[in-house]
Structure 1
Amino acid sequence: MTSTLTGGRYAPALVAPLLLVLYGVLRLVDGLDGKHGPGLAWNLGHTLFFAGFLLFGVVTFGLRRIAVAATPGRHQVANVATAVSLFGIACFLWVILGDLFAVLDDAAPLPEQLELAGPLAFQLGWLVLLTLPTAATPRALPVWSPLLVLAGFLLFSVDLDLLPVGGLLLTAGLLPVARPRRQPVDVPVSSRRP
């Protein structure tokens, strides 16, 4: 006989995109004077942006676990998508550090090709990791999950002023990853009531 327990599944999946929302809001505040540049809103926003992308790295491993569990035969695809995502996240982190510390950007700027490839790698890897379980087992992740994440990514590419809205779409798309989940748990015979 089995019973179910409820528990939190993956809180970083909600925290990371919410940090992106906060970064987007601070970016809008910073740009009220017509330019984006060093200052309190800029520095605080980029610090949140950096923390968000560190958490996106953590979430990537959680997405990999879900993808591998739902599609055991696609283990290698999930591994490649994870590596591609982590490469993109590393590019993001390097650029954010360069924005926060101009001396770093002057000393070792990220090559322009990697500045373009990094975001695409992150997004492509995540979309693969979200699509694998969705296609294999509808109960693993709903179809709307990768679609909302894709919509958020598309908003980022249209205009960086849409970061708060895109971040909210990512949050909504990652809800199935972060929400409490009912898991069957075996109940030992000795603890069952007659």
Structure 2
Amino acid sequence: MITRPAYLAAPALAMVYGVLRVVDGFDGSRGPGPAWTLGHLAFMGALVLFAVIFRDMWVMLGRNRVATGILVAGLAGIAFAFVQFAIDIVVGFMAADHEAMGPLFDQVQAVPGVPLLVYQAGPILFYLAQLALVVHLAVRRQVKVWVPVLVLVQILLPFASLDLIPVGAVVAMIAFLPLATRPRKTALAHA
């Protein structure tokens, strides 16, 4: 078996973000500072690796139309989420303290389309595509049915509390473990 590092590294970087987010909140506020910046950079790295994961799943699915549509939506979602995290980092560098971040975020969100694309609907495409890809793999019996169930759990956990991001990351690692360790011939059969 060959390990595909992106499948485990992406959730690991998401876990780093989640842990640093919790640590950053110990003083009662989040950002700016090293935990804010490093956590956001870690999640941006996770997003890049998720693009690699999505492409790999697309190849596993035979590059069909449905998978291609999901891939495109997922990559768009990744791009919107990446922009959101980049904005957060820039605001963190520009602000002297947490209170100064609010007006800067207000300025960004005053730009038409930014709230919807960058903070609301855009990033949701990332999560929906992640789920759709693993469901498609499960329907084709390329992964067990529990894989999309765990992916759904890891997507929903942060909606209950953002402090559950590290738990969701562990769930994602478990969900992606069969994909990370699948035999090489699985990938080559569809390449």
Which structure: greater strand fraction?
1
Residue in structure 1 matched with residue 129 of structure 2 by the alignment: 125
Question: Deviation digits for residues 93-125 of structure 1, max 9, x if unmatched?
Answer: 000000101269656867111121123211111
Q: Distance in 2 between matches of 1:66 and 1:175?
A: 15
Output the CA distance in 2 between the equivalents of 1:171 and 1:29: 22
Checking the alignment, whether the CA contact within 8 Å between 1:78 and 1:129 is kept in structure 2 is yes
Helix, strand or coil for the counterpart of 1:59? helix
Q: Does 146-155 or 96-105 show the bigger shift?
A: 96-105
Contact 1:13 1:178 in 2 (8 A): yes
Contact preservation (8 Å) 1:67, 1:130: no
Structure 2 counterpart of 1:132, which letter? H
Q: Distance in 2 between matches of 1:107 and 1:124?
A: 25
Matching residue of 1:134: 138
Which residue of structure 2 aligns with residue 97 of structure 1? 86
Q: How many residues align?
A: 171
Q: Aligned to 1:101, what secondary structure does the other structure show?
A: helix
Higher helix fraction (1 or 2): 2
Q: Which runs of 5 or more residues in structure 2 are unaligned?
A: 95-103, 187-191
Map of 2:115 onto structure 1: 112
Residue 57 (structure 2) pairs with residue 59 (structure 1): no
Q: C-alpha offsets along residues 120-163 of structure 1, whole Å, 9 cap, x if unaligned?
A: 211111111111121122xx111111110110000022211110
Residue number in structure 2 paired with 1:48: 42
Q: TM-score, normalised by structure 2?
A: 0.82
Give the Cα separation in 1 of the matches to 2:162 and 2:77. 18
Q: Distance in 1 between matches of 2:24 and 2:114?
A: 26
List gaps (5 residues or longer) in structure 1: 1-5, 185-194
Identity %: 35
Counterpart in the other structure of 1:167: 169
TM-score (norm 1): 0.81
Structure-1 residue corresponding to 2:72: 83
8 Å contact kept, 2:47–2:78: yes
Question: Bigger shift: 76-85 or 107-116?
Answer: 107-116
C-alpha deviation, 1:17, in angstroms? 0.6
